[in-house]
A and B are shown apart, each in its own frame.
Chain A
Amino acid sequence: DARVTQTPRHKVTEMGQEVTMRCQPILGHNTVFWYRQTMMQGLELLAYFRNRAPLDDSGMPKDRFSAEMPDATLATLKIQPSEPRDSAVYFCASGLVLSRGPGNEQFFGPGTRLTVL
């Protein structure tokens, strides 16, 4: 049963600390997305990768957030330093995007619930 996995599922940290969230996309998917969900803003795109290359990170605060794909099986989202306003649920999703034909259904992981005190 292929699915997107994320670790950790929950993270509580203090303001100023570094936070790293990890995602394992579904094997064979070539696109990975990071979304953030808050009560006020709903679901928003932070960044996405295709074939491990970053295509769009315009949704991320550049001074503190960074996203990488060290290899095809791992995507990371890092916050340094973290702030209370970063408290949210962070979702990773993966999909197979083809230049032609149907596709692009996105499959979401269970999320990382981050609380910054």
Chain B
Amino acid sequence: KQEVTQIPAALSVPEGENLVLNCSFTDSAIYNLQWFRQDPGKGLTSLLLIQSSQREQTSGRLNASLDKSSGRSTLYIAASQPGDSATYLCAVTADTGRRALTFGSGTRLQVQP
């Protein structure tokens, strides 16, 4: 059974810092990996999708990398802003016909102004 772990569980940084969120998964047979953002009381917003054949994806100040063989992904946020404060969730899709996501428990990020 696939298990997804995110470290750290919570992070507080001053504005302007570059930061890295970590995600690991136990079964490397994945179809893709997706990073989401969730604001308190809100739904999930897709940030980046990395296919299993890709090494990284970039969107603005966000960069996500994937090392499938070692079961790891990182989300890099450059020049953090208070508006980045949210919970960041990592999720993987198994490389089978079953295309549902298995989620990590998330990293709660607070960026101090």
Q: Which chain B residues in 77-99 approach chain A with CB under 8 Å?
A: 89, 91, 93, 97-99
A80 to chain B, nearest CB (A): 24
Q: Which chain A residues in 54-73 approach chain B with CB under 8 Å?
A: 55-56
Question: Is there contact, CB below 8 Å, between A42 and B105?
Answer: yes
B62 to chain A, nearest CB (A): 15
Q: Which residues of B contact A35 (CB under 8 A)?
A: 101
Nearest opposing residue in chain A for B54, CB measure = A102
Interface residues on A, range: 20 to 34
> Residues of B within 8 Å of A, CB-based: how many?
25
Question: Is there contact, CB below 8 Å, between B99 and A48?
Answer: yes
Interface residue? B42 (CB, 8 A): yes
- Interface of chain A, main secondary structure: strand
A87 to chain B, nearest CB (A): 15
Q: Which residues of B contact A97 (CB under 8 A)?
A: 99
Question: Is there contact, CB below 8 Å, between A107 and B46?
Answer: yes
Question: Is there contact, CB below 8 Å, between B32 and A104?
Answer: yes
Interface residue? B34 (CB, 8 A): yes
| Chain B 20-49: CB-based contact to A (< 8 A → 1; otherwise 0) | 000000000001101010000111111001
